[in-house]
Chains A and B, each alone.
Chain A
Amino acid sequence: SQKIEQNSEALNIQEGKTATLTCNYTNYSPAYLQWYRQDPGRGPVFLLLIRENEKEKRKERLKVTFDTTLKQSLFHITASQPADSATYLCALSSFSGGYNKLIFGAGTRLAVHP
């Protein structure tokens, strides 16, 4: 069956370090993968999209990699700040019924400590 796995345990890191979050999937062949940020009590907010033919994408302090052989995406936040503390969701595209839909992982909570 199709499955998306993100670390269910919170990731605690020190301010200034690089945070690395993992998204693994099985039995999917997504055309693209996205990362979203979600703060408590709010809806998810789009951060980055990476396509199946792209290895890496960057946006300011964020970097995403996409390895379709390993079926894995890594999400990096460099020079992390306490304001980066949030839950990060990975989402894979799934094409069915003529339309793309997103399948979300359960998310990983990141806590950046001063």
Chain B
Amino acid sequence: DAGITQSPRHKVTETGTPVTLRCHQTENHRYMYWYRQDPGHGLRLIHYSYGVKDTDKGEVSDGYSVSRSKTEDFLLTLESATSSQTSVYFCAISESSGGRQETQYFGPGTRLLVL
């Protein structure tokens, strides 16, 4: 998994509680991404980061926030978890190549169940 770890790997939580997922990389890649994967929808981008403290929203960012205080760590927070956020969450990284990031390398995923 290209030097990417995600924690926790599995989590069960209750509606209304905050949840933080962590992505850690050892590749020193500039770009980091959070996706969610749901049946029939494929991977959808939640947020991404193009450097330390530089983040932006993806297509499904409502209810999520992110932070990146170090190159190696990208945190995804569900501010108040809802059942619709039950999903598998993947972190990905990519390096810059001529100013354009291309291939993405994915972590093993976090399976989140919100009851």
Task: Using CB atoms and an 8 Å cutoff, list the residues of chain A in contact with chain B.
Answer: 4, 8, 31-32, 34, 41-46, 49, 89, 91, 93, 97, 99-107
Contacts of A91 in B (CB 8 A): 43
Min CB–CB distance A40 → chain B (angstroms): 11
Total A-B pairs, Cβ < 8 A: 54
Q: Which of B1, B40, B58, B104 sits near A8, CB closer than 8 Å? A: B40
Contacts of B35 in A (CB 8 A): 104
Q: A97-B56, A106-B40 are in contact. Are A49 and B109 (CB under 8 A)?
A: no
- Which residues of B63-115 have CB atoms within 8 Å of chain A's CB atoms? 90, 92, 100-109
Interface secondary structure of B, over-half rule: strand
Min CB–CB distance B90 → chain A (angstroms): 5
Min CB–CB distance A18 → chain B (angstroms): 25
25 A-B pairs (CB sep. < 8 Å): A31-B100, A34-B102, A34-B103, A43-B92, A43-B106, A43-B109, A44-B90, A44-B106, A45-B106, A46-B104, A49-B103, A89-B43, A91-B43, A99-B31, A99-B56, A100-B100, A100-B101, A100-B102, A101-B33, A102-B45, A103-B45, A104-B42, A106-B40, A106-B42, A107-B42
How many Å lie between the Cα of A57 and that of B50 in the bound state?
A: 29
Q: Which of A42, A99, A102 sits near B50, CB closer than 8 Å? A: A99
Is the pair B106, A49 in contact by a Cβ cutoff of 8 Å? Answer: no
Task: Using CB atoms and an 8 Å cutoff, list the residues of chain B in contact with chain A.
Answer: 1, 31, 33, 35, 40-45, 48, 50, 56, 58, 90, 92, 100-109
Min CB–CB distance A100 → chain B (angstroms): 5
How many Å lie between the Cα of A45 and that of B109 in the bound state?
A: 12
Q: A43-B90, A97-B56 are in contact. Are A102 and B42 (CB under 8 A)?
A: no
Interface secondary structure of A, over-half rule: strand
Is the pair B58, A101 in contact by a Cβ cutoff of 8 Å? Answer: yes
How many Å lie between the Cα of A34 and that of B107 in the bound state?
A: 18
Q: Which of B43, B44, B102, B108 sits near A42, CB closer than 8 Å? A: B108
